[in-house]
Amino acid sequence: MESVLFDVDCDDLWQISRQQAHQADPQDVNDRIAVCPATIGKGYKRDIELRNGIDLTFHHYQLNDDLVVDRISRGENSYLEWMFVLSSGFRLQNGVEMNQGHHLLAGLVSPGGAVEGLAHTPTVEVDIHLEPERLQSLIGDQLEILPFELQQMLARDEALPFSPVRTITPAMHLALQQMLNCPYQGVIKQMYL
């Protein structure tokens, strides 16, 4: 069975949960856990603000049913988002399916449409959010060193809202597991991540 929520409903539910989030790390006020709304499933999203312009979200939840978030608005995003799916998966607006062991980059332009979350197994995902200004401060005036598709995304090319889906390599998987299982707190955790 499928549940259909409009973007505003789903966003509102997660927004309420994030407003009620509790601190995951007693030494870091920017590390918070939001409990998954019961109407959607069980589990949580953990949001960690690392440093200026870089954030992480760790997804760890099980949907009650396949979930279609309908009417996601078309528009611009304030950050680039690298999505790494370690378990479960979802279908994007353009019909691309992300499954266990896949990753992609979402650009600065959202095509709008519907996204379908798949309930068959628990969702474990790591998202890395990077503001374009932060990326440009890291590379300076050397935009040409970036892959061409990333250059297009930074130019807000509407023809490329997502990179192609790629396979998570063993080295990437190891790094993602180390992030999810970070043994540190406070400043040391911030440096580690």
Average pLDDT over residues 42-70: 90
Task: Return mean pLDDT, the chain.
Answer: 87
Which single residue is written with the structure tokens 């690298």? 82
Residue 61's nearest CA partner among 117, 10, 13 is 117
Say how far apart CA 129 and CA 41 lie, in whole Å: 24
Tens digits of residue pLDDT in 124-175: 999 999 999 999 998 888 889 999 999 999 999 888 888 999 999 999 999 9
Query: Is the CB of residue 163 less than 8 Å from the CB of residue 105?
Result: yes
CA distances from 168 to 4, 88, 174 (A): 30, 14, 10
Name which of 7-11, 96-100, 122-126, 159-163 the model is least confident about.
Answer: 7-11
**Average pLDDT for residues 118-124, to the nearest whole number?**
86
Predicted local distance difference test score (pLDDT) of residue 4 = 52
Per-residue pLDDT at 2? 53
Q: Would the pLDDT of 112 be above 80?
A: no
Under a CB-based contact definition with an 8 Å cutoff, are residues 181 and 20 in contact?
Answer: no
- CB of 161 within 8 A of CB of 107? yes
Architecture field, domain 2-181: Sandwich (2.60)
Give residue 78's pLDDT band: very low, low, confident or very high (50, 70, 90).
confident
* The predicted structure's pLDDT at residue 91: 82
Q: pLDDT > 70: what percent of the chain?
A: 93
Whole-model pTM: value is 0.90
d(CA 48, CA 105): 19
pLDDT (average), residues 49-64: 92
Read off the pLDDT of each residue in 49-53 and give the average, rounded to a whole number.
88
Which of 72-76, 87-91, 149-153 shows the highest mean pLDDT? 149-153
CA dihedral 11, 14, 16, 22 (to 10 degrees): -150
